[in-house]
Amino acid sequence: MIPPEEVAVLDANAAEAGIPAAALMKAAGQGLAASLAAHYLPKGAAAKGTAILFACGPGNNGGDGYVAAEQLRARCKVTVAVLLPPRTALAKAALAAFSGRKVRGEASLPRELERANVIVDALLGVGARGQVREPLRTAIGLINAAAVEGTPIVSVDVPSGLGTDCAVSPKATVTFHDRKVGMDERACGTIEVVDIGIPQRALTHTGRGEVLLIPIPGPTARKRARGSVLIIGGGPYHGAPLLAAVGAGRCGVDLVHVVTPPQVVPILAAHHPNLILHALGGDHLTVADLPRLTQLQQQVDAVVLGPGLGRAAETIEAIRLAVSQLVRPTVIDADALVALGPVETNLRRPKQPQLLLTPHDGEFDHLMGARPPSEEHLQERIAATLRAARRCGCTVLLKGRTDLIAAPDGQQRSNETGCPPMAVGGTGDVLAGVCGALLSKGLSPFQAARAGAWLNGKAGEAAAVRMGHSLQAIEVAESLPAVLLAHHPLWKGARD
């Protein structure tokens, strides 16, 4: 089953893989028309007497209805009821291409429902959010009343209002590519899945669609609505927590806290006054610092543990205990990964086990007891990453020329963004901060790893255009806003 938020990701990644959204809508409309013809139209000339009403809303769900209506127009009596004007470019084009009978507004709906032998619910799709508003709320009530009188209702992709207090109750639902989360026969009637040509690459690789997972708070949102992150790092290396913090900040979080040794605090403060800095009790992390870390976790939405912590024996002991006490979604990176190896002994599940591990090959070796297969043996490398995710019980992002992301439930993606100049110290710290920021915004570890790897690689590509092999990790972090502005339709603050 597909979560609703993943549908837009699939559409965008399909377009990137060469199948544009218009082609997907055409295939959806054709599949819907074929299903309606097979189940509700008599054979031959008798079909001419069947009246099908398409009740269409403002989004692409309505667009699918318009395409299907045009497909059936010559075979039966087709009417489209335009309950709200099309809002998307695809839906506008689909309505313009429909050359049959149209009625507009809700006033004509009761009369058209009485005339119909079949009613197609194309009011709201999986992208709808919140409670159903007028005039669609009244339209759903009228459609359900027609169903009670015996007129068959067929919903497009999902029943309109699914999961709310005002939903269509169809006889059947024609859904596209796969069932969506929340669909069952009780709510949807008979479910038919139609293949619309989503390319395999859109299912196996990250793409620009991943950034659509990142939520944008509404216009009335207040401070902390965009997430807050705690970076636990530094000791022998002070650049690593700074890079992770800048990476997180450039992904649009509200607050970035950094816990680091006291000698590192003034260095970070001089570079970035936006950071909220907290000093450890000494020059490296120890068990004595854990009560303070537990307290700070309560102030944030996600944690990044590891950048630059070092491998002192006291630090390793503290990391292992810290992981067992985590209560926030957490990215575990760098020296923290080394401390956790071997995983069966040292990865104790936290109270809220939302972990994302981000190893390179050497850290993977420490964690799992063996290096992963080389990049020349990609399928074996993918299999090793999946095994690691199952053994750890959490998402694993194995960094490399092709980043591999695996979840413990068997989901997997490959990420091919990035470039050779990124093979420089610190880009992995930036990635850890990016993933921490995305966790703080409510993405799952698997989603955060996918979007984070894609974003980090794209930012590196953008920075390399300017810097070539002079690229430094901080320039990757500073390039993140440009990538988000280019690929997230609401990043500038506009409303859809």
Nearest-angstrom CA–CA distance, 319 and 308: 12
Whether 4-204 shares its CATH topology with 210-487 is answered: no
Q: What confidence tens digit (pLDDT) does each residue in 199-217 have?
A: 999 999 999 999 999 998 8
pLDDT in the model for residue 129: 75
**C-alpha 155 chain-centroid distance:** 25
**Predicted pLDDT at 349:** 64
The number of beta carbons lying within 10 Å of the beta carbon of residue 16 is: 17
DSSP E strands: which ranges in 344-427?
Answer: 355-357, 395-398, 403-406, 412-415
49: DSSP letter: G
Q: Identify whether the C-beta of residue 414 lies closer than 8 Å to the C-beta of residue 403.
A: yes
CATH for the stretch 4-204: 3.40.50.10260
- End-to-end Cα spacing for the chain: 27
Beta bridge partners of 52: 78, 118
> Measured between alpha carbons, how far is 411 from 178 in angstroms, rounded to an integer?
15
**Single-letter amino acid code for the residue at 254:** D
Write down the pLDDT at residue 346: 75
- E strand intervals along 151-308: 153-156, 172-176, 190-194, 228-232, 255-260, 276-279, 302-305
Do 254 and 223 contact (CB within 8 A), yes or no? Answer: yes
Residue 71, burial from CB neighbour count under 10 angstroms (0-12, 13-18, 19+): buried
Are residues 127 and 4 in contact, defined by beta-carbon separation less than 8 angstroms?
A: yes
The structural domains of the chain, with segments of one domain joined by +, span: 4-204, 210-487
Q: Give the chain's residues under pLDDT 70.
A: 220-221, 348-353, 494-496
CB-based contact 450:402 (threshold 8 Å) = no
Beginning with the edge strand found earlier in the chain, give each strand of the sheet holding 302-305 in spatial order. 276-279, 255-260, 228-232, 302-305, 330-332, 355-357, 395-398, 403-406, 412-415
Angle at which helix 89-97 crosses helix 21-40, to 10 degrees, equals 50
Determine how many CB atoms are found less than 10 A away from the CB of residue 269. 12
pLDDT at 130: 79
Sequence-distant (6+) residues with CB within 8 A of 249 are 256, 272, 274, 275, 433, 437
For residue 338, give both structure tokens. Answer: 């080394």
Task: Please provide residue 40's backbone torsions phi and psi, each rounded to the nearest 5 degrees.
Answer: -130, -10
Domain topology for 210-487 = UDP-N-acetylmuramoyl-L-alanine:D-glutamate ligase (3.40.1190)
The pLDDT, as a whole number, for residue 342 is 85
Pairing of strands 228-232, 153-156: unpaired
Tokens linked to 181: 């989360």
> Cβ–Cβ contacts within 10 Å for residue 201, how many?
16
pLDDT score at 244: 97
The tens digit of pLDDT for each residue in 316-363 reads: 999 999 998 899 999 999 999 999 988 877 776 655 569 999 999 999
What residues does 118 pair with on adjacent strands? 52
